[in-house]
Structure 1
Amino acid sequence: MFYRDVGPSRAPLLVFLHGGGVGGWMWEKQVEFFFRDYRCLVPDLPGHGESESRTFSMSQSAEEILSLIKSNQNGAPITLVGFSLGTQVIVKMLSLDPWLADYAVINSALTVP
């Protein structure tokens, strides 16, 4: 999975997950604003952006991003930020690991209970 890692390695972690049909590039302005004070991880979900083309799976994407976060976790607070499809992945991630993040920004999840 392709991802960008920008900012100080010991800073609080911000993970940005994009919506369907786009890529991590949609967060460029936010990363420009936050990268001095936060470590920003910006993955391209499978089948999007610069990640290899393959079939998208919600469960597999959630597990891959959980692994990415855990391998880059530095003990600092974690904030997840998602839009649409990215938010659905965040909801799945939090169902797998409810204590993963200190904060989550859930925008346009469109999930069914």
Structure 2
Amino acid sequence: MRSLFVAEKGHQNDKSIVLLHASGSSSQMWAHHIAELKNDFHCIAVDLPGPASSRDIEWTNFNDVTEMIADIIKNRVHGKPHLVGLSLGGGLVLKLLEKHADLFDRAIVDVACHHPIKGYRKVIAGVYIMSLLKNTKLMGNLMAKMMQKDGVPEESYR
């Protein structure tokens, strides 16, 4: 079985944090978090199968991907790491806790569904298509307008 791409920063002897991204994203979504955490933690951000560095690995099902992540943890982490997941990554955190609870110290899950969404391949395809637009001027302008409405200072997004 091929291994998923892993972005790793920090000292391997420090407490580990394993970060699992949302669908249509990559380990890059954790770059700012890792920049803050790498001096105190061993940070492992996994690229899930999809549009990023693990794109040559097919998404088969939650169980298979869960086992790929568990293998990474068993081979790269000492002790019991913290586990963090957002959206799709959060669903995988729940599955990891269900199958391998003994591997982890603590978990943070945000916006997750324990059972796969029916038609999730269509959802992943839609998110992937949207990800192609994320660096366009149109998307930048739309995001800026949303931030303005929310009262975010202009210097925070320009």
TM-score by length of 1: 0.91
* Matched-pair identity in %: 29
Offset, 1:54: 4.1
Number of residue pairs matched?
Answer: 111
Q: Counterparts in 2 of 1:52-67, with a 5 A limit?
A: 52-56=55-59, 57-67=61-71
Q: Give the helix-richer structure, 1 or 2.
A: 2
Give me the whole-angstrom Cα distance separating, in 1, the residues matched to 2:113 and 2:72: 25
Q: Give the strand-richer structure, 1 or 2.
A: 1
Offset, 1:60: 1.1
Offset, 1:94: 1.1
Question: What SS is found at the alignment partner of 1:99?
Answer: helix
One of 73, 95, 99 as aligned partner of 1:96: 99
Q: Aligned residue for 1:74?
A: 78
Q: Aligned residue for 1:25?
A: 28
Q: Aligned residue for 1:83?
A: 86
Give me the whole-angstrom Cα distance separating, in 2, the residues matched to 1:19 and 1:107: 10
Question: What SS is found at the alignment partner of 1:48?
Answer: coil
Question: What SS is found at the alignment partner of 1:9?
Answer: coil
Which amino acid in the other structure matches residue 72 of structure 2?
L
Q: Which structure 2 segments of 5+ residues have no match?
A: 116-158
Question: What SS is found at the alignment partner of 1:31?
Answer: helix
Question: What SS is found at the alignment partner of 2:64?
Answer: helix
Question: What SS is found at the alignment partner of 1:47?
Answer: coil
Runs of 4 or more, structure 1, over 2 Å off, are 52-55
Give me the whole-angstrom Cα distance separating, in 1, the residues matched to 2:91 and 2:39: 28
Q: Aligned residue for 1:35?
A: 38
Give me the whole-angstrom Cα distance separating, in 2, the residues matched to 1:2 and 1:55: 13
Q: Which structure 1 segments of 5+ residues have no match?
A: none
Structure whose CA Rg is larger: 2
TM-score by length of 2: 0.67
Question: What SS is found at the alignment partner of 2:102?
Answer: coil
